[in-house]
Structure 1
Amino acid sequence: MGLLRRAQWFYALVAGALAVALAGLITGFILLGDSWFQLLIAAGLGIVFTQIAFLAHEAAHRVILSSGPANDRLSRIIGPALVGMSYSWWDSKHSRHHANPNRVSKDPDIEIDTISFVEDDARKARGVVRFITQRQGWLFFPLLTMEGFNLHFLGIKYLVTTREPVKGRWIELSLILLRLAAVIVPVFIFLPLGLAFAFIFVQMAVFGVYMGASFAPNHKGMPIIAPDARLDFFTKQVRTSRNVRGGWWATTLMGGLNYQIEHHLFPSMARPYLSRARVVVREACENLNVPYTETSLIESYAIVIRYLNEVGLAARDPFDCPTRHELRGV
């Protein structure tokens, strides 16, 4: 059996397991009725929708089906119709990120969006945003509870306002709105008003935290590249990426994003083969004297929190924080 065929069987099994889980959650929702145990169903949906988003991400990288156009079509179905996120917005943003990870002014993933990832942005913060920026490391995970809403909003905003040509713009927007209606309407029909709002919030909060907790360890706290810096492809991708140790359970939990270095070097490589590529890449890094960063999941979160807090210090008045420069050196 060829490598592509094996990968397709793997993704078929994952899709089947997610379909069963989704069907079980829907059945549980119907059977439970007016019960606060529905919040467990909401949390389960947040987890399943995140796992489906991982599949959409891989389809966008053209690793699931045998042809590029087929993968693109699959992404345009999975993202908008099942997850509720815009494929076109994600693809535009994610392609620019892969081309220039952690490069100032070119990587959209380090552009300011409440959280500041570079000191220059932190210094510009004002009002409530300044208050958040000064404490953004500690507030990072609580803020992720709103990231699900943000991802849905940004996708819809992109489809409605962008002047760039978008293939199937209105079809995609219609799929997103239909999917949102399919999730929201039954909740407010079958559950009391207060429980219905709690259900939607829990589902979106779990989705946002899970998505953010899976993507944040990949690059946050790794070197930031100046706009005019000149780096070769290999060095640029390896130095700005971080792997997460854990083997199969980390791969399952993070949808293969735990092998971020290999994913950036070989973005069209299927999830089951990233661990094999890791062996080759580590050897190449040793030979080329390029740092290869790999940590535990918990350690990666600690690094992200510490890094965001250090960046947030730039938003503070040095007269209000006399130890600022000392802390930045920690």
Structure 2
Amino acid sequence: MSESSVSATQSSKRRRGSDYAELARWVRDAGLLRRRHGYYAARIAVNVLLLAGGGVAFVVLGDSWWQLLIAVLLAGVFTQFAFIGHDAGHRQIFGSRRGNDLVGYAHGVVTGISYEWWVGKHNRHHANPNHEDEDPDIEIPALAFSNEQARTKRGLLRWVAKYQAFLFFPLLLAEAVMLRIASVRAVLRREVNATWREAALLTTHLVGYLGVVFLVLSPLKAVLFILVHQGLMGVYLGCSFAPNHKGMPILRKDERLDYLRKQVLTSRNIIGGRWVDGLLGGLNYQIEHHLFPSMPRPNLRRAQPLVREFCLQRGISYSHCGLVSSYAQVLRHLHAVGAPLRRPHRPVQASG
């Protein structure tokens, strides 16, 4: 390589590295990293009131089949609590880690998900989104997100991968339960630092949740209530996270991009009004969230046009689409990945 080529390569790397620094200056100058304590106080208050209202309705209704409607309501409320826990894990609420952790652990008691385990897992995802062997969110046993992953499936998991586009939403019914199982496993394996605290919080949730449900409802109604509540919560969580990266480019093990492009090219925004912001907990601004994880949720909407304009100026692909279109893209990708497994094996013809 000539000296001029080396110089050009180094210049390109410096320019790319400085792109994010320049964007960060734009964001700071616009005041988009300032805390929004009032917003979060109001959001948490609304969630608590909804939870309390659901709890009162649950007790008043007693042993009634109408409780299944309360299960639907609480599935949404619990997921909204999970969104606040997500924001606390990214330190979006307070400037101090202690304040955010206090909110995160408190919300973990409600959702039954280990806060410390989830933060560690989620931070690994943020560091390397859609990167083979480095992003835990694409290392899901029941699904394949690349042809390489599909080829490694065996037995029942191979059959699931064949038809994963059709099974995707039914599989989400187990998402909330799987998160709780993973939380318990992390505590038992001491994969969290505050083992006893996490164990106490998870036990408090489990005993309190099951105790109240089986105290108020007959066994059959209690089981159906839990199935509806946990199943719909899993679907809600999965439908909030899946559109953000699934179906976007997957980076190979040896593939490296600068921070700005790594986050933008592997993420997808969901466009819509404020109802979409509320429904998806701000995760619909996935590109802005990945670029600035500590940015308070309500500021993401304001950051979106700024980040998009910055990317367009530099020729960086910026992906965004509607909610229904995002699910269609995810399902098409899953169907395409499973296609080689659906092709019948042709026996090799013997020669001679």
TM-score (norm 2): 0.87
Asked whether the 8 Å contact 2:311–2:318 carries over to 1, the reply is yes
Please point out which of 247, 265, 281 is paired with 2:273: 247
Shift in Å, 1:167: 2.7
- Dislocated runs of 4+, deviation >6 Å: 2-6
For residues 338 and 220 of structure 2, the distance between their equivalents in structure 1, rounded to whole angstroms, comes to 36
Consecutive unaligned residues in structure 1, runs of 5 or more: 321-330
| 1:120 matches 2:120 | no
Distance 1:174 1:16, change over 3 A: same
Q: Which has the larger radius of gyration?
A: 2
Consecutive unaligned residues in structure 2, runs of 5 or more: 1-30, 347-352
What SS is found at the alignment partner of 1:121?
A: helix
For residues 198 and 166 of structure 2, the distance between their equivalents in structure 1, rounded to whole angstroms, comes to 36
Please point out which of 156, 181, 193 is paired with 1:167: 193
Asked whether the 8 Å contact 1:110–1:118 carries over to 2, the reply is no
1:284 corresponding residue in structure 2: 310
2:117 corresponding residue in structure 1: 89
For residues 90 and 284 of structure 1, the distance between their equivalents in structure 2, rounded to whole angstroms, comes to 32
| 1:99 matches 2:146 | no
- In the TM superposition, what are the counterparts of 1:17-28 in structure 2 within 5 Å? 17-28=46-57
Query: Which amino acid in 1 is paired with 2:88?
Result: A
1:315 corresponding residue in structure 2: 341
Question: Per-residue CA shift, 1:257-284, capped at 9, x if unaligned?
Answer: 0000000000000011111111111111
What SS is found at the alignment partner of 1:257?
A: coil
1:49 corresponding residue in structure 2: 78
Shift in Å, 1:171: 1.1
Query: Pairwise CA RMSD of aligned residues?
Result: 1.5
Please point out which of 256, 271, 274 is paired with 2:297: 271
For residues 72 and 314 of structure 1, the distance between their equivalents in structure 2, rounded to whole angstroms, comes to 45
What SS is found at the alignment partner of 2:211?
A: helix
Question: Per-residue CA shift, 1:58-81, capped at 9, x if unaligned?
Answer: 0000011231222123212222x1
Using the aligned pairs only, state the percent identity: 48
Question: Per-residue CA shift, 1:92-127, capped at 9, x if unaligned?
Answer: 111110010000010000013211122222112222
For residues 32 and 278 of structure 1, the distance between their equivalents in structure 2, rounded to whole angstroms, comes to 44
1:212 corresponding residue in structure 2: 238
For residues 26 and 304 of structure 1, the distance between their equivalents in structure 2, rounded to whole angstroms, comes to 36
For residues 147 and 117 of structure 2, the distance between their equivalents in structure 1, rounded to whole angstroms, comes to 26
For residues 184 and 309 of structure 1, the distance between their equivalents in structure 2, rounded to whole angstroms, comes to 38
Asked whether the 8 Å contact 1:245–1:258 carries over to 2, the reply is yes
Distance 1:227 1:18, change over 3 A: same
1:13 corresponding residue in structure 2: 42
Query: Which amino acid in 2 is paired with 1:234?
Result: L
Query: Which amino acid in 1 is paired with 2:112?
Result: G
Query: Which amino acid in 1 is paired with 2:272?
Result: G
For residues 31 and 73 of structure 1, the distance between their equivalents in structure 2, rounded to whole angstroms, comes to 31
For residues 336 and 33 of structure 2, the distance between their equivalents in structure 1, rounded to whole angstroms, comes to 44
Query: Which amino acid in 2 is paired with 1:94?
Result: H
What SS is found at the alignment partner of 1:45?
A: helix
Question: Per-residue CA shift, 1:188-239, capped at 9, x if unaligned?
Answer: 1221111110000111001100000000000000001011112111111000
For residues 148 and 203 of structure 1, the distance between their equivalents in structure 2, rounded to whole angstroms, comes to 10
Question: Per-residue CA shift, 1:103-158, capped at 9, x if unaligned?
Answer: 00100000132111222221122222222111101110011011111010011101
For residues 247 and 232 of structure 1, the distance between their equivalents in structure 2, rounded to whole angstroms, comes to 31
Query: Which amino acid in 1 is paired with 2:81?
Result: I
- In the TM superposition, what are the counterparts of 1:257-268 in structure 2 within 5 Å? 257-268=283-294
| 1:63 matches 2:89 | no
For residues 71 and 104 of structure 2, the distance between their equivalents in structure 1, rounded to whole angstroms, comes to 24
For residues 66 and 235 of structure 1, the distance between their equivalents in structure 2, rounded to whole angstroms, comes to 27
What SS is found at the alignment partner of 2:94?
A: coil
Query: Which amino acid in 2 is paired with 1:50?
Result: T
Asked whether the 8 Å contact 1:54–1:255 carries over to 2, the reply is yes
1:324 corresponding residue in structure 2: none
